[in-house]
Amino acid sequence: MSTGDAAFDLFKISEDHEALREAVRAVAEDKIAPYAAAVDEESRYPQEAHDALVASDFHAPHIPEQYDGVGADALATCIVIEEVARACASSSLIPAVNKLGTMPLILGASEEVKAKYLPPVARGESTFSYGLSEREAGSDTASMKTRARRDGDDWVLSGQKSWITNAGVSDFYTVLAVTDPEGKRGSNVSAFVVEKSDEGFSFGEKERKLGIKGSPTRELHFDNVRIPGDRMVGAPGEGLKIALRTLDHTRVTIGAQAVGIAQGALDFAVGYVKERKQFGKAIADFQGIQFMLADMAMELEAARQMVYVAAAKSERGDKDLPFFGAAAKCYASDVAMKVTTDAVQLLGGYGYTKDFPVERMMRDAKITQIYEGTNQIQRMVMARQLLK
């Protein structure tokens, strides 16, 4: 591939996109930001944010209109996630994970499966999570141990999944399992929709995490869970292919989340340095501080542009999306970690306390370098695309 060919006509921010940003920002500042510190402190699901997002149709904006959704394009969905993350990273996982959980259906499911499971999510009655990783199969997804064996028209699921975002809250789960243990590695995995009420399906304890504490992360346990055959997503053996295509699209949303976290930290730091006085003047007047802010803003804007380009490619289904999705997620998350760390530094001792939001933002930013493929894996994805 040649990345130089991609410079023109990549994305356009329309007036509709800008109006959407204003609307989401208003909801985030009014209904989400006031609860962000408590959500983090109490490690509780951000129900206030959930209710506000559902009321404004921002909880799953990507779902097409034919399934009762608002049919937002990929760039609009990124703007929603970015603006929510600016106020509360945990809350931004509501639209992000709804997209992650349903994207395999949108890409590969039968019309019957789409018609059954997408409308309740679009209407805000249910949420959707995604079950790919396992204890011993993180980056090496093809080595998963979860099995689904055929039993008549049904499948019987056994095994576990780890690090599942919003587990226990979501009603529906896209779960990947090996359906042909003797088959070719990577082509022997199928995808299924598992319902929270399925007999034999349970959850592990909540993980105690560094950040995104308002978004529950738990294991999924399958003890001979019987799944009707018509709940398979795509054909037998297509599961991993669908799962990896899903990640090409949803990595872009993690980039958007990272941009939002970084923007929230930069905004707070700029306000603080204008007010904080040392040596008889605002610390914003010192060139050392100004250079830090300039670098933070420059790198953040570069990350935002990369995310928006990748979103446009996601919307069009461009063949170079795997490179751009990985690049946007990798770069934006690295920038988020740097910007939030610098924001803590700019607040000095206050930055290290929970009285101010930047320490939370720094903790929240870290996961963006890890989930949906570590940044080391993103670099492998990019290199493979370049060497094709």
pLDDT tens track for 111-123? 999 999 999 999 9
Other C-beta atoms closer than 10 Å to the C-beta of 122 total 25
Q: Which residue has the tokens 């703007």?
A: 79
Alpha-carbon dihedral sign for residues 54, 58, 60, 65? positive
- What's the alpha-carbon Rg for the chain, to the nearest Å? 21
Same domain for 224 and 137? yes
Total domains in the chain come to 3
At 15, which CATH number?
A: 1.10.540.10
Q: What is the mean pLDDT of the chain?
A: 96
pLDDT tens track for 91-105? 999 999 999 999 999
Same domain for 248 and 320? yes
Q: Identify the domain containing residue 43 by its residue range.
A: 3-127
Alpha-carbon dihedral sign for residues 101, 102, 107, 112? positive
At 283, which CATH number?
A: 1.20.140.10
Task: State which amino acid sits at residue 282.
Answer: A
Same domain for 193 and 268? no
At 157, which CATH number?
A: 2.40.110.10
Residue 322: helix, strand or coil by DSSP? Answer: helix
pLDDT tens track for 164-201? 999 999 999 999 999 999 999 999 999 999 999 999 99
Q: Is 29 a catalytic residue?
A: no
pLDDT tens track for 117-170? 999 999 999 999 999 999 999 999 999 999 999 999 999 999 999 999 999 999
Last residue of a domain, one of 106, 127, 148: 127
Strand segments, DSSP code E, in the chain are 128-131, 147-151, 154-165, 172-178, 189-195, 201-203, 217-228, 232-233, 277-278, 281-282
Last residue of a domain, one of 237, 262, 284: 237
Residue tagged active-site, from 134, 219, 299, 372: 372
Same domain for 147 and 212? yes
Same domain for 218 and 285? no
* φ and ψ at residue 351, rounded to 5 degrees: -65, -25
pTM here?
A: 0.97
Residue of 250, 241, 212, 239 whose CA lies nearest to 326 = 250
Region 6-22: mean pLDDT is 82
Same domain for 22 and 92? yes
Contact 255, 333 (CB under 8 A): yes
Assign residue 205 a region (left: φ > 0; alpha: ψ between -120 and 50; beta: otherwise).
Answer: beta
Same domain for 233 and 100? no
Contact 187, 240 (CB under 8 A): yes
Residue of 103, 59, 82 whose CA lies nearest to 13 = 82
Contact 366, 288 (CB under 8 A): no
Same domain for 326 and 229? no
Same domain for 154 and 82? no
